[in-house]
Amino acid sequence: MGISPDLPERVSLREVGPRDGLQNEAPVPTAAKVELIDALSGTGVGRIEAVSFVSPRAIPQMADAEQVWAAVRRDDRVRYSALVPNLRGAQRALAAGFTELEVVVSASDTHNRANVNRSTGQSLDEIAELVEQAHASGARVTAVVATAWGCPYEGDVPVERVLWAAGRALADGADALSYGDTTGMATPSRVQALVGATRSAYPDVALNLHFHNTRGTGLANVLAALQLGVADFDASVGGLGGCPYAPGASGNIATEELVHMVEDMGVATGVDLEAMIEAAARAERLVGRTLPSQVLRAGPRTRTILP
Ligand code: COA
Ligand code: ZN
């Protein structure tokens, strides 16, 4: 249709279902994780966050990260990355052969302490060292600032606080920036405010956005960001994820819903929608529960009913 000449011609998507999704589901066998990643590699998606190297006590679901990564059929059309919470995680990821890392730090202190047992400032200090070691190994690091639109413990997080955390990581050498809407507190106007302030403060930085659909605003947030020229998003196949311990928590925006919406607006994703829907059906079988993706239920908009 190409209704919006002001939108980016294409977006880069990072599929995070195998990590952000599966870390929040009941543990699944290593072989099933590998199968899901292999299926995703064939969908045309450009990037996959395959695993995280975190404490197995904190997240038992990711305890087999090395084994998963060793067994994945790596497709040279895909860039694979790993999430890490600290230097130790980065060293594991580098030893496993990853050349792209996402290091996470929450803008709000309380969430950062709950998530990684450090203050935001302590994590940022560690990130400086982590970036140095990653660069020495030839790897690139994206700094993911979590709770960028709000914190489940502290409520609203000031834009200035998010810019401060982002600025420190960038000054210490982070190659790219991502904002995580950890518990789905963003709305389109808050997306405009934070993206606008970030562009003013750090005009040349590559920016990825990571939305959760916890309050139903996920795709609206994507549209607001697209209109500001953001062209890099995370999404999770089937809308996988959510937290079994947090009532109302939900996964990322579903990759196939994002693809379905933006492709019809003339924004290319590289993703084959039917293949992504098939991968979502596989993810649903894997976790054994109905996933929230509506495009998985209904199919592409042009799917017709046989008479
Ligand atoms: N991978 C594996 N083990 C790790 C590790 C890592 N990245 N970092 C630390 N450990 C181990 C240490 O070796 C130590 O093991 P030991 O008790 O057998 O000696 C133990 O964990 C405690 O180390 P410490 O540095 O004190 O960590 P901690 O207990 O303060 O936990 C984190 C900090 C960051 C490791 C932990 O909170 C974590 O993994 N959080 C990740 C949370 C997450 O993934 N959230 C969702 C994604 S945003
Ligand atoms: Zn997330």
Region 124-130: mean pLDDT is 98
**What local confidence, expressed as pLDDT, does residue 250 receive?**
87
> 38-91: per-residue pLDDT in tens?
999 999 999 999 999 999 999 999 999 999 999 999 999 999 999 999 999 999
The sign one gets for the Cα dihedral 170, 172, 176, 181 is: negative
Specify the pLDDT at position 241.
Answer: 86
Q: Residue 158, Cα to own-chain centre: how many angstroms?
A: 22
Closest alpha carbon to 207 in 173, 232, 180, 190: 232
pLDDT of 2 above 70: no
Number of residues assigned to the chain:
307
Q: Rounded to an integer, what distance in angstroms lies between the CA atom of residue 279 and that of residue 289?
A: 15
Q: Percent of the chain scored above 70 by pLDDT?
A: 96
Are 34 and 72 in contact by the 8 Å Cβ rule? The answer is yes
For residues 215-220, give the mean pLDDT.
Answer: 97
What would the pLDDT profile of 160-193 be if each residue is shown by its tens digit? 999 999 999 999 999 999 999 999 999 999 999 9
What's residue 246's pLDDT? 63
Burial 245-271 (b: 16+ CB within 10 A, else e): eeeebbbbbbbbbbbbbbbeeebebeb
Domain ranges within the chain, ordered by starting residue: 12-298
CB distance 7 to ligand 1 below 6 Å: no
Give residue 242's pLDDT.
75
Q: Which of 58, 71, 220, 243 is catalytic?
A: 243
What region does 270 belong to: left with phi over 0, alpha with psi -120 to 50, or beta? left
User: Helix/strand/coil (H, E, C) string of 163-213?
Assistant: HHHHHHHHHCCCCEEEEEECCCCCCHHHHHHHHHHHHHHCCCCCEEEEEEC
53 lines ligand 1 (CB under 6 A): yes
Say which CATH topology domain 12-298 has.
Answer: TIM Barrel (3.20.20)
pTM > 0.85: yes or no: yes
Find the 117 Cα to ligand 1 centroid distance in Å.
Answer: 8
Phi, psi torsion values for 12, nearest 5 degrees: -100, 130
